[in-house]
A and B are shown apart, each in its own frame.
Chain A
Amino acid sequence: MELLSLGIKSIFIENMVFAYFLGMCSFLAVSKKVSTAIGLGAAVVFVLSITVPINWLIQEYVLKEGALTWMGAGFAEINLEFLQFIMFIAIIAAMVQLVEMVVEKVSPALYGSLGIFLPLIAVNCSILGGSLFMVQRDYTVAEASVFGFGSGVGFALAIVALAAIREKLKYSNVPNGLKGLGITMLITGLMGIAFKSFIGIAI
């Protein structure tokens, strides 16, 4: 039950985009068409659900102070936390590459639709952000998996919704200076207010 509650929380209340501004670059750049937005959303869900639990394992059994105790008592003093950023980004880059290769082999159709977005994802802030938040909040492995999946779904939901609004926006008369990024920012703000209404929901 707690896990379900955490899942709901990471999708709606602590939405990656509206509450923490993570993944804004691709959120703004790839939200012009609903079909591409769905592609990127799916890829982010995929990669976040994989990398957060893996980085949890890395943090727990390699990086944390005393995490290397399983190798012998002599390693109990070692604290490798300063390597966190490099390890996490390396894991993410490697996982993205791996996922890309596996998808290409197993399902060429899916690769065709996801293909272009996968390399982009390595530098998507929401992926690294997911891992860093997971460390900051001391999640267990089950919580980390749920959090990763939930955050991904939250991002996908937000980007698809924004893309749908922007498709309609093409037919409206927007002031010159506001065209493109400006009006998108204001719309994101309004969507954020809508997402605020989920605050307080607990299961």
Chain B
Amino acid sequence: MSTETLEKSEVTAKLPTEELFSKRRKRLISDPLNEDNPITIQVLGICSALAVTVKMEPTLIMSIAVVFVIVFSNLIISVMRNVIPSRVRIIVQLAVVATLVTLVSEVLKAYSYEMYKVLGAFVGLIITNCIVMGRLEAFAMGNKPYDSILDGLGSGFGYAWIILAVAFFRELLGSGSVFDFKIFEAVGIMNFPTNGLMVDSIGAFVILGIIIWIQRTKTGYIEH
């Protein structure tokens, strides 16, 4: 604990050499949102991305949990990066991530038991979410804590907006509602034919495929 605070104060002392939100740092946040999106471009974290997207509400909770885990695991690993022997780094990373996920799952169990039941095993599966491990390996192991936090925020939000978009279409077409609000009944369409495939896993694959198509066409990214 004491070394952590020490490192932190050291970093804040160094900060004036670079602006708090310099151009480079802004890019750390903005790149993963679109051009370098963890899901659509880097193909990471799809496992849990699809499983929880039947409804908007669990998806929102899931995105908050993932952003929390990415940001804090990035921070912790970045603070410890110089003392982790590279041979055992995977185990150390897994231990840090697993601890944070346990924290999230206990908080969820205490304050929102319903959601805990709905998300079930998928909260635990944040541990093996490739985005978290990928960011730790690729960024936090070689960068300062503050930059790592920004990188975590960027990747987390990049993940969040994609799964929220998937969940929006799945809930709208599959259950005819948004955040459990019956949107079609509200505008007067009483018997909107809901699509069973959207509630099913298949809908998630198709919707994500189409989102990837649109997003890659816009950014002009072509995979070979």
Interface on A for B, CB 8 Å cutoff? 18-25, 28-29, 82-86, 88-90, 93, 119, 122-125, 127-129, 132-133, 136, 175-186, 188-189, 192-193, 196
In whole angstroms, what is the CA distance A93 to B89 when docked? 12
A125 and B47 in contact, given A177-B213, A189-B202 (Cβ under 8 angstroms): yes
Q: Is B40 an interface residue (CB 8 A)?
A: yes
**Number of B residues whose C-beta is below 8 Å from A?**
50
Closest to A29 in B: B43
Residues of A within 8 A of B208 (CB): 185
Decide: A175 and B213 in contact? CB cutoff 8 A.
yes
Enumerate chain B interface residues (CB-CB to A < 8 A): 40, 43-51, 90-91, 94-95, 98-99, 101-102, 105-106, 120-121, 124-125, 127-130, 133, 197, 200-206, 208-210, 212-217, 221-224
Binding site secondary structure of chain A = helix
Contact B91 A125 (CB under 8 A): no
Partner of B201, one of A18, A90, A136, A186: A18
Q: In the complex, A172→B197 CA distance in Å?
A: 27
What residues on A are CB-neighbors of B128 within 8 Å? 89, 123-125, 127-129
**A128 adjacent to B201 (CB under 8 Å):** no
6 contacts between A and B (CB under 8 A): A21-B204, A25-B47, A84-B102, A128-B124, A177-B215, A183-B209
Known interface pairs A82-B102, A93-B91, A179-B223; A186-B127 also in contact (CB < 8 Å): no
Q: Which residues of B contact A90 (CB under 8 A)?
A: 91, 94-95, 98
Output the nearest chain A residue to B215 by Cβ-Cβ distance. Answer: A177
Write the nearest CB–CB distance from B121 to chain A, whole angstroms. 4
Are the C-beta atoms of B127 and A189 separated by less than 8 Å? no
Whether A182 pairs with B216 at a CB distance below 8 angstroms is yes
B209 touching A189, Cβ below 8 Å: yes
Residue of A83, A85, A178 touching B124 (CB-CB under 8 A):
A85
Are A129's CB and B205's CB within 8 A?
no
Query: Using Cβ atoms and an 8 Å threshold, which residues of chain B touch A19?
Result: 201
* CB neighbours of B197 from chain A (8 A): 193
Given A123-B133, A128-B127, is A189 in contact with B206 using a C-beta cutoff of 8 Å?
yes
Say yes or no: B102 contacts A85, CB within 8 Å: yes
Query: When chains A and B are docked, how far (Å) is the Cα of A82 from the Cα of B213?
Result: 41
Which 3 A-B pairs rank lowest in CB-CB distance, beginning with the nearest?
Answer: A180-B223, A185-B209, A189-B205
Picked from A25, A125, A176, A181, the residue with its CB within 8 Å of the CB of B212 is: A181
How far, in Å, is A47 (CB) from chain B's closest CB?
Answer: 13
* B167 vs chain A, min Cβ distance (A): 13
| Chain A residue at minimum C-beta to C-beta distance from B221 | A177
A83 to B197, CA, bound (A): 37
